[in-house]
Amino acid sequence: MSFIGYDIQADRRYCFSGRDILVDENGLPASPAELLALSPVSVGDSQCGASAFEFPGGQTVPSHCRFIPLRQYFATNSEEEVAVVSRMKALLGWKKATRFCPCCASLLEPHPKEAAMVCPNCGTSQYPKIEPCVIVVIKKGDKILLLKHKTRNQDIYACLAGFVEAGESIEHALRREVREETGLEITGIRYMGSQAWPFPYQLMIGFIADYLSGEIQIQEDEISEALWCDACNLPNIPAAGSISRYLIEYACDEIRSRRKK
């Protein structure tokens, strides 16, 4: 049972600002009580025994603390810790954005029994938001397809990814995203795993697939470059701790081990 909005615990408490997390001089999570007292939004969750709050605007970062990107924190912490931090980051962002009932516009209150908010006027419950996304590495012979995005992380070559749309199956979304962004058709789709990615609410659903047909035609408003990369000579790829990195390394390992035979 979880209580959104209760149980602001001191033992496992996180302070976030945008896509960053506050850490101390040892790189451990820092969450000074004086900042919590000034924070505009906080959240507690008994399911994972943790709480979180937003860094209050206009305040100074304590001298022994600093903010680091969450992606960097993910790369250097255990899977279990990353799962807890991802949940708290997603819950905090959701709570901040979920103040009013979408049916009658009344102010929502924490649900008495569930990790949810409830409307005291019409009884409608609001549950934490999850946005499913497909992410894929496409293999073609000894190469994999990597993309450079036009607006985000412009210095790295990453996997192809996109949101699952209403009414779609995951498989349909995967084929559609590949077709839209690159003009290619794929086959041999293999599910590889998933990862919560709280920027703000994504659930990344990871695949490796094989090239089937088509010539690359990039979707120019989203993608600046699509490149068939040699598995032994990769460009700048996403950091460890992301499913994107995992899929790229897995696909390249497969190609390299086949070459050795």
Binding site for Zn ion (CB under 5 A): 101, 103-104, 106, 119, 121-122, 124
In angstroms, what is the minimal distance from the CB of 4 to Zn ion?
Answer: 17
In angstroms, what is the minimal distance from the CB of 107 to Zn ion?
Answer: 9
- Please state, in angstroms and rounded to a whole number, the distance separating the CA atoms of residues 56 and 70: 18
Q: Which is nearer to Zn ion, 40 or 120 (CB)?
A: 120
Q: Which is nearer to Zn ion, 101 or 173 (CB)?
A: 101
Q: Which residue shows structure tokens 């996109």?
A: 162
Q: Which is nearer to Zn ion, 101 or 231 (CB)?
A: 101
Strands 185-197 and 160-163: what pairing? Answer: unpaired
Instruction: Look up residue 79 and give its DSSP letter.
Output: H
C-alpha distances (whole Å) from 198 to each of 55, 72, 144, 204 are: 17, 14, 27, 10
> Within 10 Å of residue 83's Cβ, how many Cβ atoms?
14
In angstroms, what is the minimal distance from the CB of 115 to Zn ion?
Answer: 19
**Cross-strand bridge partners of residue 209:** 138
In angstroms, what is the minimal distance from the CB of 5 to Zn ion?
Answer: 17
SS3 110: strand
Q: Which is nearer to Zn ion, 103 or 130 (CB)?
A: 103
Q: Which is nearer to Zn ion, 109 or 253 (CB)?
A: 109
In angstroms, what is the minimal distance from the CB of 122 to Zn ion?
Answer: 3
